[in-house]
Amino acid sequence: MGRAPCCEKVGLKRGRWTAEEDELLTKYIQANGEGSWRSLPKNAGLLRCGKSCRLRWINYLRADLKRGNFTSQEEELILHLHASLGKRWSLIASTLPGRTDNEIKNYWNSHLSRKIHSFRRPFSNTIPVVMEVNKAVIANRKGGRNGIPSIKKPIENPLVNEKVPFPSTPVLGKETLPINAVEVKEGTSMENSMGCPSGGILAPLESIESNGMPWFDDITNSELLQPHGDLDFSEMAANNNEEIVSWNCSGGRGDSGDDWEWESVVNGNEPWDEEFMCSWLWESNDHIVNGETHKLNHDF
């Protein structure tokens, strides 16, 4: 038996929400609270799918949403958390009051991933080739901006034919922030790119704080902030009898046994992309659970 559709799509409205629909939804939720999304549209008099209502409320209508551009502090936090957590947008969003996962995801795709992209390029000895290719593409087309190529249609590096195994997302007990501590060994990317001290155990976001980044204040109003001043992401996990996980960023890339060296990447000799780079920052062979080091199994 196939999966049942979330709702009867026949006769339901799709696409952009009108002001009237927004008002109906807002009034209903203010009166009855969130939840019961499936029955909500009917009760609220909306010709919308429950999922659509939920999304509209969460991403747009909620009163506590912060609209407008991301601050540089928020941007840095997203970059840092993405490096630690990968594309766990909801987790990242939970540390940014007033921001939604969808908003952060969009911002990443349209702004930040490109920053990562340009960040790594100077290291690569393939730059001239890549840039020449891009120039050629730009020069040949009519109209349009002379801007950066859309990330939606990345131009493949013609020099890279080999597909790099992409690390899988580590499976956590539950979707909670696993950054009770991030152990960083000497010579790792965390040290290099995040300014972490060598060989130390970082408290959550310690590297950021120790750098004197003023934006740390932005999350001090978060519920995660403990009276003693630390951000305690482990509380949620502890409440659920979950393991506290810290990621041991060793130089290796996984159980696959591939030869891979940081120097090669820095020098541009190793084919990789920004997504791999970010994932590598938080992924490794080992993770530490309650003081014990465990092997992670990656199936590439």
Q: With contacts defined by CB under 7 A, name the span among 3-11, 159-167, 214-222, 278-286 that binds DNA.
A: 3-11
- DSSP string for 16-78: SPPHHHHHHHHHHHHHH-S--TTTHHHHHT--S-HHHHHHHIIIII-TTPPPSPPPHHHHHHH
Q: With contacts defined by CB under 7 A, name the span among 84-92, 119-127, 188-196, 211-219 that binds DNA.
A: 84-92
Please report which helix (H) or strand (E) contains residue 216, including its range. none
Q: With contacts defined by CB under 7 A, name the span among 35-43, 73-81, 213-221, 280-288 that binds DNA.
A: 35-43
**Which residue in 10, 11, 15, 228 binds DNA (CB under 7 A)?**
15
Angle between helices 113-120 and 274-282 (to 10 degrees): 100
Q: Which is nearer to DNA, 52 or 188 (CB)?
A: 52
Long-range contacts made by residues 213-221, C-beta under 8 angstroms, separation at least 24? Answer: 213/73, 213/76, 214/73, 215/71, 215/72, 215/73, 215/74, 215/76, 215/77, 216/73, 217/73, 218/71, 218/73, 218/74, 218/77, 218/96, 219/77, 219/95, 219/96, 219/97, 221/97
**Quick check: 239 binds DNA (CB under 7 A)?**
no
Q: With contacts defined by CB under 7 A, name the span among 105-113, 124-132, 176-184, 242-250 that binds DNA.
A: 105-113
Residue 127, by phi and psi: left (phi above 0), alpha (psi -120 to 50) or beta?
alpha
Smallest distance from DNA to CB 42, Å: 11
Q: With contacts defined by CB under 7 A, name the span among 25-33, 53-61, 119-127, 277-285 that binds DNA.
A: 53-61
**Which residue in 30, 109, 221, 297 binds DNA (CB under 7 A)?**
109
Provide the CA 35 distance to its chain's centre, in angstroms: 26
Q: Which is nearer to DNA, 44 or 184 (CB)?
A: 44
The count of other CB atoms within 10 Å of the CB of residue 91 is 21
Q: Which is nearer to DNA, 142 or 228 (CB)?
A: 142
CA–CA dist 100, 20 (Å, integer): 23
Smallest distance from DNA to CB 271, Å: 20
Q: Which is nearer to DNA, 130 or 151 (CB)?
A: 151
Smallest distance from DNA to CB 75, Å: 12
**Quick check: 78 binds DNA (CB under 7 A)?**
no
Contact 53, 40 (CB under 8 A): yes
**Quick check: 82 binds DNA (CB under 7 A)?**
no
Q: Which is nearer to DNA, 259 or 299 (CB)?
A: 299
Residues that bind DNA (CB under 7 A): 1, 3-4, 6, 9, 13-17, 35-39, 48-52, 54-56, 59-60, 87-91, 101-103, 105-107, 109-111, 141-153, 174-175
